[in-house]
Amino acid sequence: MTLKNIVINNLRRRKARAIFVLVGLLIGVSTVVGLISLVQEMKKDINHKLEMYGANILIVPKTENLSLTYGGMSLGGFSFDMEEIRQDEVAKIKTIKNSANVAAVGPMVLGPITVGGHRILLAGVDFTAAQILRPWWSVKGKFPAGENGVIIGSDASRISGLKPGDKVTVRGRPLPVTGVLEATGSQDDGLIFAPLPVAQGILGKQGRISMVEVAALCSGCPIPEMVKQISAVLPSGNVMAIQQVVKGRMETIGHFQKFSYGVSALVLLVGCLMVLVTMMGSVRERTIEIGIFRAMGFRKSHVLRIILLEAALVAAVAGIAGYFAGLGATRLLLPLFTQGQGHGAVSLDPIMAATAFLASIMLGIAASLYPALMAARLDPNEALRAL
Amino acid sequence: MSYINAKNLFKEYGTGAATVTAVGGVNLCVNAGEFVAVMGESGSGKSTLLSMLGGLNAPTSGSFLVDGVDVYALTSDGRADFRKKSIGFVFQNFHLLPYLTLAENVMLPLAIVKMGKKQKLAAAIDALARVGLSDKAHRLPNQISGGEQERVAIARAVVNHPPIILADEPTGNLDTHTGSEIMKLLTALNHEGITVIMVTHSNEYAHYARRLIRLSDGRVVDEGTNLRSPQSRRVKSDRTRKRGKKHGKRAGTK
């Protein structure tokens, strides 16, 4: 027989009260876990969508000219013959502090060519990076293997009449057409894409590139900070972030996160009040019992320990159950917050589980502290007079 | 000096005109191994006096010493330790915890004692054996009779071998036969050397005690040796036997 036995036996006997305390904390913990998990999963989902969206940092050579394009119409002021970035400098992007957040780097060389009497823009790309940067690409045929072959945008294919299996001769160099892009609704539809070294050779721009697209994961790294870091390693480039998309979405998540914290605090407060009221009732109900303990020689600290241990045990169970309930709620609710496109299953997070467990115990103890002190301070004679 | 020494104990409740004197200047000396019955009408101050003797209720004035230790000069924890080591309480309504088995109830005072699990259980079974209930150790209180519950309460009071037992109306809820069994049990414990102070309404049960103290309005109105107690009767019969032997010897000499 120890204080622990007294606590466990009492919990077994007063199941209704124990369940009431458990439910109070469980609702609090599961709400917090649910909301935090939801925010995390929404962030993951947005990151995933941003990855799907493609590049969110663009690096172009520095120029004094302004781009005079609007709505897809070029009005001059932008020349493909402008300054270029040296290809060997591109590798420096991988050396920035937040390099771990760089998903893909896509160097691109651009230049006009004439195919069948039509002036078409030739884009030299790294097809591996291009597929990450443009996940929406769908090719009839296949991507070129190695340095042999090109793929053609849908408009360029229509105008030039080229289709997979044809050969296109560019500046005397015959290249097989391995595939045709499905219409994307973007400028890509009017381009011919060749492997970067091939395009550089055709355009006479060996070792030079016209622009670099970077896909950055924005979780844990602010895009503006990455832009600064890339600018520092690429002084010849003008680094720009597609900020509106990132900022707007992250702000929405930020607002939701703040709202979640507010709701969590409120629910936890209500949960703690439930625990407080229940434990107060329990102490009042156990006045005689406490009187007997004190008469037997239990110190105030022993009584305090009995009440707090009881609260801690229930809170520990509530912490574990609350974590899994929160996780379950997130799994159910996530599709509603991500338009049914929740990115993967909500996974177990050991750190969050441990935090939920410990936080629940601490809250249970904190909420029971006053009733426990009340029990410890109970005058044993008063308790005996109640006998 | 007596083992238990209460000098001019006063206990007042309330203040000003609403002051009620529960115990008004009680002097009490009890030797180690005595069996004392405190009697009186309801409201005479018996239970208040008992709670003061148990270190549960600080007197308004007066001193209370046990084995030379001023109990109310101790800190709250010190008094708790005093109760743990020196006092075994037996309550009128038994007050066994319903969610614990009889053995667990008896082990309760040992919950705060550093002892092995097996030792505690052995002590509880031993205490239950003393009251004749070792075979029911694993039953719950609601599975035994009132008399048995009181015996369990007595086992709980003696499990940690206190030198003093304070019993508040231990027979109050029992029939005459069961009450007598309880009194025999308390008498047996007293014979083992435990000092017993018992509060009772009943003249019949009070006569098991060696000394009777009668309270009225918080004051001792009568105090004396109980010549009808089993102890006194035993002493008396011993004396008679000795006298008889002496007379026999004298007669034989003549």
Same domain membership, residue A126 and residue A86: yes
What pLDDT shows up at residue A78? 45
Q: Which two tokens stand for residue A347?
A: 């996974």
B248 located within any domain = yes
Name residues 11-40 of chain A within 8 A of B (Cβ): 12-13
Segment B153-178 shows an average pLDDT of 88
Same domain membership, residue A214 and residue A257: no
Which of B55-64, B137-146, B218-227 shows the lowest per-residue confidence on average (mean pLDDT)?
B218-227
Q: Is B45 on the interface with A (CB under 8 A)?
A: no
Same domain membership, residue A219 and residue A177: yes
Indicate yes or no: CB of B56 within 8 angstroms of CB of A380: yes
Does residue B110 register a pLDDT over 80?
yes
Q: Is B87 on the interface with A (CB under 8 A)?
A: yes
Indicate yes or no: CB of A9 within 8 angstroms of CB of B120: no
Same domain membership, residue A149 and residue A7: no
Q: Which chain B residues are Cβ-neighbours of A387 within 8 angstroms?
A: 91-93, 95, 168
Segment B90-96 shows an average pLDDT of 83
Q: Which chain B residues are Cβ-neighbours of A13 within 8 angstroms?
A: 98-99
Same domain membership, residue A185 and residue A65: yes
Domain holding B107, by residue range, is 33-47+86-212+219-253
Q: Which chain A residues are Cβ-neighbours of B77 within 8 angstroms?
A: 299-301
Same domain membership, residue A195 and residue A119: yes
Q: Which stretches of chain A score pLDDT less than 50?
A: 68, 70-81, 387
Q: Which chain A residues are Cβ-neighbours of B89 within 8 angstroms?
A: 292, 295-296
Interface predicted TM-score (ipTM): 0.84
At B244, the pLDDT band (50, 70, 90 cuts) reads low
B143 located within any domain = yes
Indicate yes or no: CB of B100 within 8 angstroms of CB of A301: no
In angstroms, what separates the C-alpha of A376 from chain B's closest C-alpha? 11
Q: Residue B234 maps to which CATH number?
A: 3.40.50.300
CA distance A199 to A155: 20
Nearest to B80 among A289, A298, A384 (CB): A298
Same domain membership, residue A257 and residue A353: yes
What pLDDT shows up at residue A322? 93
B73 located within any domain = no
Answer with the one of A207, A241, A275 that is the final residue of a domain.
A241
What pLDDT shows up at residue B247? 55
In angstroms, what separates the C-alpha of A285 from chain B's closest C-alpha? 13
Segment B168-178 shows an average pLDDT of 83
Same domain membership, residue A76 and residue A36: no
What pLDDT shows up at residue A70? 47
Q: Which chain B residues are Cβ-neighbours of A288 within 8 angstroms?
A: 95
Same domain membership, residue A31 and residue A163: no
List, for residues A229-251, the tens digit of each pLDDT value: 888 888 888 888 765 555 666 77
Of residues A335 and B164, more confidently modeled: B164
B17 located within any domain = no
What pLDDT shows up at residue A161? 87
Segment B102-120 shows an average pLDDT of 91
Same domain membership, residue A70 and residue A42: no
Answer with the one of A241, A260, A283 that is the final residue of a domain.
A241
pTM above 0.80, yes or no: no
Count of pairs with CB atoms under 8 A, one residue in A, one in B: 82
Q: Is B233 on the interface with A (CB under 8 A)?
A: no
What pLDDT shows up at residue A374? 92
Indicate yes or no: CB of B104 within 8 angstroms of CB of A9: yes
What pLDDT shows up at residue A86? 86
> Based on the structure, what is the number of domains in chain A?
2
In angstroms, what separates the C-alpha of B215 from chain A's closest C-alpha? 19
Same domain membership, residue A179 and residue A326: no
Answer with the one of A203, A219, A241 that is the final residue of a domain.
A241
Domain holding A179, by residue range, is 56-241
- DSSP assignment string, chain B: --SEEEEEEEEEESSGGG-EEEEEEEEEEE-TT-EEEEEE-TTSSHHHHHHHHTTSS--SEEEEEETTEEGGGS-HHHHHHHHHHHEEEE-TT----TTS-HHHHHHGGGGGS---HHHHHHHHHHHHHHTT-GGGTTS-GGGS-HHHHHHHHHHHHHTT--SEEEEESTTTTS-HHHHHHHHHHHHHHHHTT-EEEEEES-HHHHTTSSEEEEEETTEEEEEEE-TTSHHHHHHHHHHHHHHHHHHHHHHHH-
Q: Which chain A residues are Cβ-neighbours of B83 within 8 angstroms?
A: 294-297
Same domain membership, residue A201 and residue A345: no
Does residue B232 register a pLDDT over 80?
no
> Based on the structure, what is the number of domains in chain B?
1
Q: Is A5 on the interface with B (CB under 8 A)?
A: yes
